Structure 1
Amino acid sequence: MGQQKLRDAKKAQRSNIHGTLKRLTYEKLAEKANVSLSTVKRLFKGETLLTEYAEAITDALGVNLQDVIVEESANVDFPYDVERPSLESYCYEALFDSGSLVRIKAPHGMGKTSLIQKVICKFQNHDYTTVIISFNDAEQEDFYSLENFLRWLCLIIGNELNLQNRLDELWDCKNSNKINCTSYFQDYLLNSVKNQLILCMDDMDLVFQNLEEYEDFCGLLRSWYNKMQIRSAWKKLKLVVIHSTEVYMIKDINQSPFNVGISIEIPELSLQELISLDNLYQLDLEVYQIKQFMDIIGGHPELVKQAFVKLKHDQNISFSSILEYAHTEQGIYRNHLRQHLLNLKKQPELLQAFKNIVMTNSSVCLEDEVKYKLLSTGLVVLDGNNLKIRCKLYSEYFRNKLGNANE
């Protein structure tokens, strides 16, 4: 498996230098590959990365990127990646504005992280300092309290900027946690950056799910945005927030960063974009075949890429077999589908609501909280104010699974 090859390569390098140098940590690997720490961690977790970043890391480890591709995964944005210039340009131009805040919203697997990586890559060529952090890197104890969380946030940003940890020195227990965090960020972290800083916060949904005082954190981000509009020291900061869930739970709109700045939603791939992607992969599919494919999975970027990577690199599989077995335990999407089922079973209320949509085979009206949580899964789409199943793949798989009394 690809992830095991990465771990083995990292372990081998550590063994080669044992006794003479420090072990090869993620930090050292990031430095060696000239990429950020969070980028290294995302590759080892199997998350989506641009090819150039993935190659930099595997080259530093002395392994071939092709050997790291997991059989049933498409987690590396290969050169065969459809360009979405209008979307990328819109995001790029929005970040050029002074004191800008860009919010990127789409369900899991729609290409949020890939989009911002491409945009960030362009800014790095213009002498911008860029930091991408993922709240997925936080441990459960980091969400235990607002203080723990904000100290973790300052620590991880400082690590990405290669700055010494001065939290114990500068964190004043007489001040509130929000004041401490803002002071540490302004006086130490932001002050250390001489050019423009783009700070991207990915997986914001985890904050809503795990941090009890999430509204305080949202209020903090809103206060930063307000400072970015009027204070010269803050105008060099640009914020990007990436999330999947519709933000319905913040009671005070004046304490929310989700009603200011620029909002970008990522649509599914169009027929023409799939045709372009087919040309890049040199699969020579007919237009009618691509339409058949879209009839099953729509234009879901992650599912499209998974099928096209499989067809490109596995000579033992045919296009017709991918379509025939797509919704079954034999199909290439079985792990994707199982994961969705497991996630739903952890949330009985969501599972029941989703089952109603699947079994009625029509759009269903739900309470806002349940509706927005289901939307964030990517299994459903809006139909007016109601929800309906996203695509035939999900409809067929879950009708079989949820229609079985034993499931």
Structure 2
Amino acid sequence: MKSQLPKRKRGVILTYRGWQRLQRAQRQSEMEDNNGVPYTLEQIGERTQMSPNTIAKVQRRQAAVDRQSLESYFSTFNLTLNVDDYTQPDSNESESRSSIMVKGYVPLNSPFYIERPPIEQLCDEAILQPGALIRIKAPKQMGKTSLMVRILDEAITQDFKTVTLSLQLADADLFTTLSQFLRWFCAVVTRRLELPNRLNEYWDEVFGSNYNCTDYFENYLLAEIDRPVVLALDEVDVVFNYPKIATDFFGLLRTWYQKAKYPEQSSMIWQKLRLIIVHSTEVYIPLNVNQSPFNVGLSIDLPEFTPLQVQDLATRHQLDWKTEEVERLMELIGGNPYLVHIALYHISGKDITLEQLLATATSENGIYRDYLRRQLWNVQQYPDLVTALTRVVMSPTPVKLDPIQGFKLHSMGLVRFVNGQVVPSWDLYRRYFSEHLSQLQLNLLQEHRLATIVSINVVELAEMMGTDPEETQNLLYQNFQFITQLGQQYEGQILKSTGDGLLIYFPSTINAVNCAQEIQLAFRKIAEGTTEPILTYRIGIHLGDVIFNCIDVTGPGVNIATRLQAEIAPGDICISQVVYDAVKSYLPLLPIEIKQEQFEGIEEPMPLYQLTF
């Protein structure tokens, strides 16, 4: 009997890991052999002896190709194809399950993506509109990137060009100047569009960075592409850490959005561009309402999964769950998409039972250990949040927090609001943080330290709250976040919020003075460019003895800094003689002595100075 030849297998598909390896090697080759210009499909075909169609299949990772084709592609870029670089088409489900754990988002071909109607439909319709802008906001790991890749997939089906750029890829050095950041931004988009880099032809410092960037997009990038271009900016929160650059960059995006609406010839070019902006936190920088891209276009605030959606996902994991199991899991973690995915992944894989998960969720060996450690680390960066969250998780009833602290914790996904008060989002956070934060505070001892304290207070807050409390509270929140981010750039640390003010500790007195000047200059710039109501601030700075303990910061340094800000006019800075003596040899200050003041514990009256800047 003649033996039958084995049937030809259907081929293989690149895994995410394999795609990453191939992309890195191809980029390296482009830098070394092609002057940094991305290879076209035809160029890759010449190097690999593969057709452009096969290359496109490999890159899209949706249709199977021969294993030999993958080996040829890899060997062209000096790589050896490993077994974990590819998968069989019929193992997509296994790949999808594991890739949720690896990628942090749900792949396009995964059966585990849960739609949250009508969000997907709204986004698909919006991206087709000329000059569209879609903003996706939610705490981390709520499904923002999973939604973004589906919007991009819809754009691809319409034959749009797509560019995805995570701003986490930007090195910190790139944020030194606006010009440096925007040149990097343009260069990356150029490469992703597979066009030659022509920045030097379009960049003239005489015109300024915003103009140069706009000119480069309008007269080169968008002009070269004969179809719509979707630019998806992920992790834009990174830019919030650099308020000066953020103000200009986000104002630039708003201008581009508006250009598509202008009744002029160039609007046709800008209608090609569709923007997707993805961020995790509230907008902390004080943007002029007419210069912000965060109040135009389609705004998507991703909600948690509902019980029906959790049950649907359990069914897709081949779990025969009823309402009882869904409710028990959601009492622990709510409808947080990432936490739900992780739970069902381990339960369906028989790594753990639901009962075991509920019992060990907050332990050092639990399935959420890495996630909870990251959240704890994030909270520890803000001492005022440690105290605030400790109050929330230790209280059996809702807690009224300072609005700024409440919004911060809500942005992190740790708390939710109930009738204006705050409770832990879910039992997982109450159990974990009640243990770890209480232990953390027990470990903190009272400490005396010589420190530079900056006291910042809002002027006439009560009057503005009486006129428009909601708008004023939102504005105060944004301003305080801007001040926090700017303070961190100067190595400052927020000690606490006083409701209408902030106390910031600086190891360096020079940094404290520089930061205070930057804060007041930024708010002056905002005031000059708007007719909307704004908040103004007084700032006092003193170098003195400060007492740190687990629940508060006190001492002469705090008391004097607080009194100094009350001695100055709105929008100005008052420094003590001690501060002036510490910085006068290093900073070009022109202080004006305004008075001498007697302070408790100091024998002689102390001269006070107003800074001019």
Q: TM-score, normalised by structure 1?
A: 0.83
Matched, 1:173 2:240: no
Tell whether 2:390 aligns with 1:355.
Answer: yes
| Cα distance in structure 1, aligned partners of 2:382 and 2:136 | 25
Q: Deviations over 1:343-376 (max 9, x none)?
A: 2222223333222222234444444543333222
Conserved in 1, the CA contact under 8 Å of 2:175 and 2:245?
Answer: no
Amino acid at match of 1:236: K
- Alignment-derived partner of residue 179 in structure 2: 147
- Classify the secondary structure of the residue corresponding to 2:290: helix
* Cα displacement (A) at 1:113: 0.8
More helix by share: 1
1:229 aligns to 2:261 (yes or no): yes
Aligned to 1:122: 154
Q: In structure 1, what is the Cα distance between the partners aligned to 2:121 and 2:201?
A: 42
Tell me the equivalent position of 1:44.
none
Q: Is 1:83 the counterpart of 2:115 in the alignment?
A: yes
- 1:301: which partner in 2? 337
Contact 2:240–2:283 at 8 Å: present in 1 too? Answer: no
SS in 1 for 2:343: helix
Structure 1 segment 104-123 matched on structure 2, within 5 A:
104-123=136-155
Q: Distance in 1 between matches of 2:282 and 2:295?
A: 11
Amino acid at match of 1:394: Y
Larger Rg: 2
Selected match of 1:269 from 289, 302, 305: 305
1:317 aligns with 2:322: no
DSSP 3-state at the match of 1:212: helix
| Structure 2, gaps ≥5 residues long | 1-15, 45-53, 75-80, 88-93, 445-613
The alignment partner of 1:103 has SS state of strand
The equivalent of 1:406 in structure 2 is 443
Q: 1:185 to 1:363 in 2, by over 3 A?
A: farther
3-state SS of 1:328 partner: coil
The residue correspondences of 1:230-379 to structure 2 (distance < 5 A) are 230=262, 231-313=267-349, 315-379=350-414
- SS of 1:253's equivalent? coil
Report the AA paired with residue 211 of structure 2: I
Q: Distance in 2 between matches of 1:361 and 1:149?
A: 48
Cα displacement (A) at 1:106:
0.6
In 1, Cα distance between equivalents of 2:232 and 2:411: 20
Across the two proteins, how many residue pairs are aligned to each other? 382
- CA 1:107–1:149: 2 relative to 1, 3 Å: same
* 3-state DSSP of counterpart to 2:321: coil
Deviation digits for residues 276-323 of structure 1 (CA, Å, limit 9, x no counterpart) = 11111101123201110001000000001111122233x342222112
Q: Tell me: CA distance 1:349–1:143, structure 2 relative to 1, closer, same or farther (3 Å).
A: farther
Alignment deviations for residues 124-174 of structure 1 (CA, whole Å, 9 cap, x no partner) = 011111111111111111112211111111111111101122222321011
Whichever residue aligns with residue 246 of structure 2, its letter is Y
Closer, same or farther in 2 for the Cα pair 1:254/1:317, shift >3 Å?
same
Distance 1:203 1:380 in 2: 22
CA contact (8 A) 2:386 2:437 kept: no
Using the alignment, how far apart are the partners of 2:315 and 2:230 within structure 1? 34
SS in 1 for 2:423: strand
**Deviations 1:26-59 (CA, angstroms, capped at 9, x unpaired):** x78x9897599xxx9xxxxxxxxx9959x9xxx7
Aligned counterpart, 2:416: 381
Alpha-carbon distance in 2 for matches of 1:384, 1:192 = 53
CA distance 1:33–1:329, shift in 2 (3 Å)? farther
- Please give the root-mean-square deviation of Cα atoms over the aligned residues, in Å: 3.6
Q: Sequence identity of aligned pairs in percent?
A: 34
Relative to structure 1, is the Cα distance of residues 390 and 122 closer, same or farther in structure 2, using a 3 angstrom cutoff?
same
Which amino acid counterpart does residue 392 of structure 2 have in structure 1? I
Q: Which structure has more RCO (C-alpha within 8 Å, separation ≥ 6)?
A: 1
SS at match of 1:213: helix
1:361–1:134 distance in 2 versus 1, CA, 3 Å: farther
Alignment partners' CA distance in 1, 2:205 and 2:311: 59
Gaps of 5+ in 1: 41-49
Answer whether contact 2:105 2:146 (CA < 8 A) is retained.
no
Structure 1's 67 and 254: CA in aligned 2 closer, same or farther, altered over 3 A?
A: closer
Alignment of 1:153-164 (within 5 A): 153-164=185-196
253-262 vs 362-371, greater mean Cα deviation: 362-371
TM-score of the superposition, structure 2-length normalised? Answer: 0.57
Q: CA deviation at 1:398?
A: 0.4
Cα distance change of structure 1 residues 70 and 257 upon mapping to structure 2, 3 Å threshold: closer
Q: Are the aligned partners of 2:243 and 2:285 in contact in 1 as well (CA < 8 Å)?
A: no
Counterpart Cα distance in 2 of 1:51 and 1:104: 26
Aligned mates of 1:384, 1:196 — CA distance in 2: 45
Out of 116, 124, 127, the residue aligned to residue 95 of structure 1 is 127
Question: Paired residue for 1:133?
Answer: 165
Aligned position for 1:391? 426
Q: Matched residues in 1 for 2:353 and 2:225: separation?
A: 52
Q: In structure 2, how many angstroms separate the alpha carbons of the residues matched to 1:328 and 1:152?
A: 43
Q: Structure 1 residues 250 and 8, CA, compared in 2 at 3 Å: closer, same or farther?
A: closer
